Structure 1
Amino acid sequence: MRFSWLLLLPLLAACNSNPSAERGEPGFGAADPESPADATALPAPDTASTKAVSAVSDTLRTVRQKHNFSNPKGPADLFKLVYRGPSILDGTGEFTITNPTGEVIFREMLTEPDLEAALVYEMKNPTATRAERETYVLRRIDRFFVPSQFHTPAIDPNAAFPTGLETLERATWDDLQHRPDAIGFDYLKGKEDRQRIAWSPLTKQVVRVQ
């Protein structure tokens, strides 16, 4: 009789086992649903209807120019304008200056109207066609870094301090005005807002001087 009870013990143990653990359901002994092993078993998300965004595919125009700027006698800085958007008349330009060590020392975003506004001075008719507008914007981009935009010195020795620039400190201006090798860069923003920027050794940053 003792022998028959010994044979029944494995069967009783099997009947009392935890069913949740066997099926992987929550409960004592169940696998953590957020564990790495379970995550890898999940199906990949459905991205068929998701619109891909690519900085490369959305780039419409890129112009680059190396020119001395932050260090008049040292390696040149990289001036770059990258124009991105769904179309030429619906884009935005990112203007950056990167020094020889790879640090971006200046960044400004230029909208399409910033680049197109001056077209009004070249128009022969009351309105411009879409093709004419696109051609003008692309020409503005392509000629953004022509040599005539760079000036030495950055500030004329006889120039008066520009009181209209709230971000420019007089000490920065005076220091640059006494540096005949300082380099200024001019660019047009909008219809008539012609700006000049220069690297200030005093403040270690790019400042607007005009």
Structure 2
Amino acid sequence: MRTLLLVLPALLLAACSGPASEQTSSTTSPNPTEPLDTTRAPSISAQADTLKVVRHRHDFSSPGHPDLFMLALRGTDLTTGEATFTITAADGTTIFREVLQAADLEASLVYSMTGPTASKAEREAFIRKRMDEFFADKQFGKPAAAATEAAPADTDQAAWEDLRKRPDAVYFRYLVGKEEQRRIAWSSLRKQVVRLPSTGG
């Protein structure tokens, strides 16, 4: 009986320590190795670095069916980001895409600066304002090609002549850099966006 009393605590101690230590080691092991998960979404998504997006709907490629104009600035900093300008037709087709740099949006700040330099906060505010005004209604107009306007040498002549016959054809004008006013329009003849003569720059 005395021997049994001495052995019993030892057995209980062994029974309690075995499974408990295994359980502890299996749940608290630091940084357990995980299997590769190829279906998991990447840690950086297309939206993760998006700094600002502006959208505007306006008649352009198909009267009565406004296209979606969008400018999305991505990167780690407003002043060094990359802006993607796209136009998407009503049916979901992307009909135009152009990549601009933050510097293209910021350059005209020099005309409104009150001193020799601008602070980073002022630069960021200017870029935001430029983006907010990028698709202002005043940037759209018609006709895309005036009937009396001569066709520039570096323009698709057939597309230009077709646009001249379409007084309702809409153009979109946007500033790049300090002074370059780019113009684009939808060519029903070519079934694509065409560049019109730029002004300035």
Structure 1 length as normaliser, TM-score? 0.73
Query: 1:157 Cα deviation (Å)?
Result: 1.9
Q: Structure 1 residue 159: deviation in Å?
A: 1.7
Aligned to 2:167: 180
Matches within 5 A, 1:127-166: 127-163=117-153, 165=154
Deviation at 1:155, TM superposition (A): 1.5
Structure 1 residues 27-57: Cα deviation after superposition (integer angstroms, max 9, x where no partner): xxxxxxxxxxxxxxx95149xxxx9322222
Give the counterpart letter for 1:114 in structure 2: D
* Structure 2 residue 61 is matched with structure 1 residue 70: yes
In the alignment, what sits opposite 2:48? Answer: 57
| Paired AA for residue 88 in structure 2 | T
CA–CA separation in structure 1 for the residues paired with 2:148 and 2:45: 49
Given that 2:80 and 2:103 are in contact with CA atoms closer than 8 Å, whether structure 1 keeps it comes out as no
Measure how far apart 1:152 and its partner are: 1.3
Which one-letter code corresponds to 1:57 in the other structure? A
Percent identity between the two aligned chains: 50
Unaligned runs of 5+ in 1: 1-41
What do residues 132-170 of structure 1 show as CA deviations (whole Å, max 9, x unaligned)? 11111111111110000000111222222223x3xx211
Structure 2 match to 1:202: 189
Q: Unaligned stretches of 5+ in structure 2?
A: 1-32
Higher mean displacement: 104-113 or 154-163? 154-163
Count residues with an aligned counterpart: 161
Q: What SS does the aligned partner of 1:209 have?
A: strand
Detail structure 1 runs of 4+ shifted over 3 Å in the superposition: none
| Secondary structure in 2 matching 1:82 | strand
SS at match of 1:142: helix
Question: 1 CA distance for matches of 2:150 and 2:116?
Answer: 39
- 1:111 aligned partner: 101
- Larger Rg: 1 or 2? 1
Normalised by the length of structure 2, the TM-score is 0.76
For 2:146, what is the secondary structure of its paired residue? coil
Which amino acid is the alignment partner of residue 175 of structure 2?
L
Secondary structure class of the residue paired with 2:79: helix
